[in-house]
Amino acid sequence: MDRLITLAHGNGGRLMRELIDELIVPRLGDLLLDSHADAVALDTIAADKKLVVTTDGYTVQPLEFPGGNIGSLAVHGTVNDLAVTGATPHYLCLNMILEEGLKRTVMERVIDAFADAARQCNVKIAAGDTKVVPKGEGSGLYLATTGIGSKNSSIDFCASNIRNGDAILVSGSIGDHGTAVMLARQSFGLSGEILSDSASVLPLCNTLLSINGLRFMRDPTRGGLATVLHELQSLSGLGILIDETVIPIRDPVKGVCEILGYDPLYLACEGRVVAVVAADQAELVLARWKAINSGLNARIIGHFRAQPKQVVLKTSIGGERVLFELEDDPLPRIC
């Protein structure tokens, strides 16, 4: 029979220490700096580097979905937020808020996936904390991770660097993560060939760092590509024109979205990068991305222009439509 998490596993006493020593430490093993200290000293960042931090909460439902689970997602999401600033991630801090009654086997799989992803991204776990809340006041497991990395002091991507005419690229197909989670959540009777794209974007970002005309990178998660484009439009003070027909969207994702009435432009990705570069560098970015497995479907999808100060889509029938900002949530809790 499945053993379950109880409230006493969060009380700071013997049962909690056993949970940490039996279930958590053996899985995270080599990744842990210190499993018992309240606060941990880290190796000092080199003097010519800048320290970079980011933090994110994870509340995805269901906890497990095709292509990943909340554990791998909590690594990728936080690593990716560092990667798009040009930073190399070094450490993660991990908070777990467990719901009483959670199956220990589920927790084991989540921590295993967390550990695998952390090893792949070459990050250590600097600190952790576990709380247990009563049944009915959680949904199995929430995670919150803080990422700590470093970057060369000279790197400073900022939307204010963006110039009229700059090109906009996306590193791969959009909407996969959002659609995979949606299908995992409910039995729509649709086939399950859609996997989350949850992955580290470090290789995609690192390969662009030496390109001179690189202005800005961002990973389109909550709110999808549409939300990143709106942010870029607003921060740059320019207009954006996107060729809708060029945006890479997998056929199964397109199919599911058409049936269910979702617009994939608003659905989350968890392993894609949107990059802005000087127009004459766009082909170089494309070539670098296509040389990496995760960038095979990269595309130049549009460019900045002076007017109108909106995000405009050139549609497949040759018309233009304004892409509106996300208002109501089409699909909550995808990360």
Q: Using CB under 8 A, which of the segments 24-32, 127-135, 168-176, 269-277 binds a second copy?
A: 127-135
Distance from C-alpha of 170 to C-alpha of 108, rounded to nearest angstrom: 34
Asked if residues 166 and 303 have their Cβ atoms less than 8 Å apart, the reply is: yes
Please select the residue that binds a second copy; options are 29, 105, 122, 134, rule is CB under 8 A.
Answer: 134
Instruction: Say how many C-beta atoms besides its own lie within 10 A of residue 203's C-beta.
Output: 16
* Interface region with a second copy, contact rule CB under 8 A, candidates 125-133, 169-177, 180-188, 314-322: 125-133
In this structure, the strands spanning 239-243 and 311-314 are parallel
One-letter amino acid of 272:
R
Minimum gap (Å) between residue 207 Cβ and a second copy: 19
Residues 196-235 binding a second copy (CB under 8 A) are: 218-219, 221-223, 227, 231, 235
220-241 CB burial, b ≥16 within 10 A, e <16: bbbbbbbbbbbbbbeebebbbb
Return the closest-CA partner of residue 52 out of 82, 84, 74, 95: 82
14 vs 30, beta carbon nearer a second copy = 14
Element (H, E) at 137: none
Judged by CB under 8 A, the residue of 20, 50, 209, 279 near a second copy is: 50
Using alpha carbons, list the distances in angstroms from residue 68 to 26, 62, 158, 233, 297: 21, 11, 31, 32, 21
Residue 264 binds to a second copy (criterion: CB under 8 A) = no
CB 229 within 8 A of CB 310: no
Q: Which is nearer to a second copy, 139 or 161 (CB)?
A: 139
Q: Let me know: does 170 contact 272? Beta carbons within 8 Å.
A: yes
Within 268-327, which residues bind a second copy (CB under 8 A)?
325-327
Residues 4, 8, 20, 292: which binds a second copy (CB under 8 A)?
Answer: 8
The CB-of-191 to a second copy minimum distance in angstroms stands at: 27
CA 200 to mean position of chain CA atoms = 8
Q: Which window, 85-93, 185-193, 278-286, 303-311, contacts a second copy (CB under 8 A)?
A: 85-93
**Closer residue to a second copy in complex, CB, 81/244:** 81
Residues in region 11-40 near a second copy by CB under 8 A:
11-15, 36-40
x/- mask, a second copy, residues 136-175, rule CB under 8 A, reads xxxx--x-x-xxxx-x----x-------------------
Task: Determine, following the binding rule CB under 8 A, whether residue 328 of this chain makes contact with a second copy.
Answer: yes
Please report how close the Cβ of residue 136 comes to a second copy at its closest, in angstroms.
7
User: Look-up: residue for tokens 């990068």?
Assistant: 273
The piece of 10-18, 65-73, 184-192, 309-317 that touches a second copy (CB under 8 A) is 10-18
